[in-house]
Structure 1
């Protein structure tokens, strides 16, 4: 009998907004890798073991906030920490008009937002407003108003994040949007430079100044994230994954993966099964 390795998917069934304390959430097993079908704001209120976002380790500490985008892979092994959790459906998220707030959930950057002690009371009050409305009248307009205010406070605190602050530059936003759409088929800097209306050299200069890495490295990071998702829990062969990600064949893909991760696709799959 063939055993499926499809990654579990957590859904928000029949809900646009779900505000809750972590211990009250019942969407599935959070301890093992799962893909989310919503956008999540997780504000940790206690220290626990390491969590994993797209298979990379990140600390779980009091007053660290993580914003996860739809389709990202998350795992929280061990004893669940205390946390204030806000989950938004794609439909609700798409109705957020401020582009700056939507870009907080940029899936390439999983760096935590640190909440200073003097800001915890303000954010707690906003979360409580969302929680109260969500559990009572559940008025959509009020939930949008409270959620926007909550995210706006987080945006202010995110300015110390290199990648999120880089997204203030409209050229960077357009570049990230283009890469997220075309990274499987377009791996040359010139393609993106033409779309933005700059030379390849200038685009690389801007990206390096803003993020510390090159455009090629940005593209590779997108490919690697999706490759890890596909390898870890899908039944696709390595050849199928290679073709889907725009490689000429499995051998090209395997060399690329090992060069950038230090391990082969086969070893990565075995480790994460």
Structure 2
């Protein structure tokens, strides 16, 4: 069984011993007059693809998005994706690791969490132009590498994320007004889900961790994401299972065990109910 390759961010200065990694490149320099095709893979770094002009298909965690003008894709480390960009695309590709940009204030951490929950956003032209100006400033700093350029780039990343999270989480719908308390509790839930998904799978357990009633937690997830808590938990389990199925040669029983299921047959039924495939069929169709 073929594993999903993990791509590591390249070093800007291979001779310099530093854990910090950051690159920004113009898409027109990468794509040129031929299509750019990246097969299924995952990264150990953050990935920002900002397209001023572009066509193609971008699949992120098994969800397919059409590449459009004035659009932005944002991936966290560990997400799997494949990309088909048609010749003539313009914009920027930014890659960085947590050693380079690791926000340490409550506000900036919350902002990055909000951005991390949104893989794709189609922007109005005026909004995209503001972000493009920020990316262009980053590109010039990265190219010239004058004194303090890293700090300027990090400051511009702050500006980028401010602009990015201002956009609607649903690119085809209107923005939804969400109060700060609700947003913070949602982010707390998503962080708990990230940490405990292989151990705790009941909505009531997460409500308990957060000192909320199940009704209160469901209201938070419905208001912000349009889904009750159990739906989000099930979606996350299925996503983790898909990653294991495609990224490892492990047997189904081993994957079930890694996801916290002692009964492999129960896991198989659960996966089929929520994905439409048995684990083996999914692996054969998409592996």
Kindly tell me: are residues 24 and 227 of structure 1, through their superposed partners in 2, closer, same or farther at Cα, counting changes over 3 Å? Answer: farther
Residues 12, 89 of structure 1: 8 Å contact kept: yes
Residues 114, 187 of structure 2: 8 Å contact kept: no
1: CA distance between counterparts of 2:114 and 2:179?
9
Q: Which runs of 5+ in 2 are unaligned?
A: 13-20
1:6 aligned to which of 3, 19, 31 = 3
Residues 96, 102 of structure 1: 8 Å contact kept: no
1:254 matches 2:268: yes
Cross-structure match for 1:102: 112
* Superposed CA RMSD: 2.5
2:241 aligned to which of 217, 227, 232 = 227
Q: Which has the higher strand share?
A: 2
TM-score (norm 1): 0.88
Cross-structure match for 2:61: 54
2: CA distance between counterparts of 1:164 and 1:14?
40
Secondary structure of 2:246's counterpart equals helix
> What are the residue-to-residue correspondences of 1:1-273 with 2, within 5 Å?
5-15=2-12, 16-25=21-30, 30-77=37-84, 79=86, 81-95=89-103, 97=105, 98-107=108-117, 109-110=118-119, 112-137=120-145, 139-158=149-168, 168=180, 169-273=183-287
Q: Give 1:259 shift.
A: 0.3
Q: Which has the higher helix share?
A: 1
Secondary structure of 1:76's counterpart equals strand
Q: Which runs of 5+ in 1 are unaligned?
A: none
Secondary structure of 1:232's counterpart equals helix
Residues 231, 269 of structure 1: 8 Å contact kept: yes
